[in-house]
């Protein structure tokens, strides 16, 4: 098998994986759209109060997540796989060494755009993760503030109850 045949097979396999991933993404998006449509329909049942804890909250798949898996992952795999292939066969096959300039040019052609796309995708993904982290920090602080306020309110109620009982006891003692 020549290196060109192997690259052709590798490209075909990656194309099939891309189609499979795309079908999974489309199916997921259709399910999400259908579930949103069902939520918007009026229901005849009584309304229940919905409470969610942080553990119960679902995180959805965003466009950036899909972009990372559809573009960055296959591109990096192709780039690293081809570079590994060239290195491996370059050490074993003199024919590959004779054409090393062409292979390194192909690696550079794949690597240049791959690095730019990956860097941009990672920057967007990092920003998204930072926003999620900031949201959870705010949410956690809100829970802490709520618990603090509830504790202060309970202490105030207890203090007022004790003051009232003290006043009642004092009034009863004066009457005796």
Closest C-alpha to 32, from 59, 55, 50, 51: 59
- pTM summary value: 0.40
Evaluate whether 64 touches 121 at the Cβ level (below 8 Å).
Answer: yes
- Within a 10 A sphere around the Cβ of 52, how many other Cβ atoms? 8
CA angle 107, 3, 77 (to 5 degrees): 45
The domains of the chain are located at 3-42+58-128
Confidence (pLDDT) at 55: 47
Confidence (pLDDT) at 174: 82
At 78-106, the pLDDT tens digits run: 887 888 888 888 778 788 778 888 888 88
Confidence (pLDDT) at 145: 95
pLDDT at 147 > cutoff 90: yes
- Within a 10 A sphere around the Cβ of 79, how many other Cβ atoms? 19
């Amino acid at each position: 098998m020549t290196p060109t045949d192997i690259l052709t097979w590798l490209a075909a396999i990656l194309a099939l994986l891309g189609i499979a991933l795309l079908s999974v993404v489309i199916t997921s998006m259709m399910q999400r759209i259908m579930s949103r449509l069902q939520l918007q329909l009026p229901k005849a049942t009584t309304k229940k109060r919905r409470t969610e804890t942080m553990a119960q909250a679902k995180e959805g798949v965003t466009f950036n997540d899909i972009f990372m898996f559809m573009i960055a992952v296959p591109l990096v795999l192709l780039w690293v796989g081809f570079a590994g292939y060239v290195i491996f066969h370059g050490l074993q096959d003199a024919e590959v060494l004779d054409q090393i300039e062409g292979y390194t040019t192909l690696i550079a052609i794949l690597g240049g755009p791959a690095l730019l796309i990956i860097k941009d995708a990672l920057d967007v993904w990092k920003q998204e993760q930072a926003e999620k982290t900031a949201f959870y920090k705010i949410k956690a602080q809100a829970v802490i503030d709520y618990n603090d306020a509830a504790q202060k309110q309970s202490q105030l109620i207890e203090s007022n109850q004790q003051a009232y009982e003290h006043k009642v006891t004092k009034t009863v003692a004066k009457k005796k």
